[in-house]
Amino acid sequence: MSDTNNTIAGWVLGAGIVALGLSIVSGGIYSADVPETFGYAVEEEAGSDASAVAEIPLATLLANADETKGEAIFKKCVACHTIQVGGANGIGPNLYAIMGRQLASVSGFAYSDSLKSVGGAWTWEQMDAWLKSPKKFASGTKMSFAGLSKAEDRANILLYMNGQGSNLPLPEAPAAVEEETVEAGEEVSTDGASTDEVAAEEVQEVTN
Q: Which residues bind ligand HEC (CB under 6 A)?
A: 76-77, 79-81, 91-93, 95, 98, 103-106, 111-112, 114-115, 131, 138, 141-145, 148, 157
Please, what sign has the CA dihedral across residues 134, 135, 140, 145?
Answer: positive
Q: What's the min distance (Å) between Cβ of 100 and ligand HEC?
A: 11
Q: What's the min distance (Å) between Cβ of 151 and ligand HEC?
A: 14
CB 24 within 8 A of CB 18: no
- Which residues have CB under 8 Å from 111's CB, separation 6+? 93, 104, 142
CB 171 within 8 A of CB 158: no
Q: What's the min distance (Å) between Cβ of 169 and ligand HEC?
A: 19
CB 4 within 8 A of CB 194: no
Q: What's the min distance (Å) between Cβ of 192 and ligand HEC?
A: 36
> Which of 91/182 has CB closer to ligand HEC?
91
> Which of 129/170 has CB closer to ligand HEC?
129
> Which of 69/142 has CB closer to ligand HEC?
142
Q: Indicate the residue type of 128.
A: D
